[in-house]
Amino acid sequence: MTSQTLATFTLHDGGGVPLVLLHGFPLDHRMWAACAAFLPPGTRAIGVDLPGAGHSDLDGFQPSIDHTADWVHRTMVEAGEGNAVVVGHSMGGYVALALAERHPGFVAGLGLVSTKSTADTEEARAKRLRIAAAVEASQTVDAVLSMPAALVGATTTERRRHLFPVLDLWIRAQSPAGVAWAQRAMAARPDRTAVLERFDAPVSVVVGAEDTITPLAEAEHMVKAAGTSARLSAGDGSLTLVPGVGHMSVVEDPQAVAAALGLLHGHVVAHR
């Protein structure tokens, strides 16, 4: 089955410019639910299932982060949303950066959570293509079931064990075709650091202090590229380092991530 738009979910009610929340891999919009609950009252948050994830179909296009960004844009425009604060976690951040490049008028602010603007190394690209082939061959998502151990930080491994079965449930719910598509799309994405150099709306970068997948150095690289766009207000907001969490910052400490996103959204609304 093909569909013209992606599945969207209202995760927090409110009016005005929405926060569009784009999930990481191999997950769907549900990873944002707890974080959205901590957003300031009146902040409208819309979760999107990216192609092949959760309730969104694949439509036969070649795997591509660019195409995914166009698809998110089309979905929002058809829903009557002229612009939004776009927030992406990890893979969702790659899509958010592609949106900022391809549809800059739509992106009123950019939240980059546990993500990076750099491209894959050849080694990382080859690993993604191997995983894509493995899930297709087995017609299961077994090849990505071990990911949670690497996704969360040491503190979560020790003190938030309850998150492991939740992540496992979310990953098992994904389709092998969707997992393969996303791996190939990520493998093909370019370095988008220059997009941040050109982007002139507010940028907020969030990273977990225990993230080994997209570590602090990647976050600092993005803040530096964004320059003055990343200064939300005098001296704060551009880079939020969340202590005690790894790559799944949004799930490991949803309140801390929501506080950073609330600041970004409030800044965008105040300066319109």
Binding site for ligand MLT (CB under 6 A): 24-25, 90-91, 186, 213, 247
The least distance separating ligand MLT from the CB of residue 105, rounded to whole angstroms, comes to 26
Cα gap 271→68, rounded to integer Å: 29
Which H or E element spans position 208?
strand 203-208
The least distance separating ligand MLT from the CB of residue 118, rounded to whole angstroms, comes to 10
Closest to ligand MLT by CB, 75 vs 90, is: 90
Closest to ligand MLT by CB, 98 vs 186, is: 186
Closest to ligand MLT by CB, 186 vs 196, is: 186
The least distance separating ligand MLT from the CB of residue 235, rounded to whole angstroms, comes to 30
Q: What is the dihedral of CA 172, 175, 176, 181, to 10 degrees?
A: -130
Closest to ligand MLT by CB, 19 vs 171, is: 171
Closest to ligand MLT by CB, 90 vs 174, is: 90
Q: What is the dihedral of CA 23, 206, 131, 152, to 10 degrees?
A: -100
The least distance separating ligand MLT from the CB of residue 149, rounded to whole angstroms, comes to 13
Q: What distance separates the 2 farthest-apart alpha carbons in the chain?
A: 53
Cα gap 174→25, rounded to integer Å: 10
The least distance separating ligand MLT from the CB of residue 72, rounded to whole angstroms, comes to 15
The least distance separating ligand MLT from the CB of residue 22, rounded to whole angstroms, comes to 10
Closest to ligand MLT by CB, 28 vs 101, is: 28
* Short-list 113, 104, 71, CA closest to 196: 104
Question: Distances from the Cα of 104 to the Cαs of 49, 206, 234, in angstroms?
Answer: 21, 21, 25
Closest to ligand MLT by CB, 29 vs 247, is: 247
Q: Output the DSSP codes for 143-185.
A: GGTTHHHHHS-HHHHHH-TTHHHHHHHHHHTS-HHHHHHHHHH
Give the residues across from 74 on adjacent strands: none
Is the Cβ–Cβ distance between 246 and 210 less than 8 Å? yes
The least distance separating ligand MLT from the CB of residue 28, rounded to whole angstroms, comes to 11
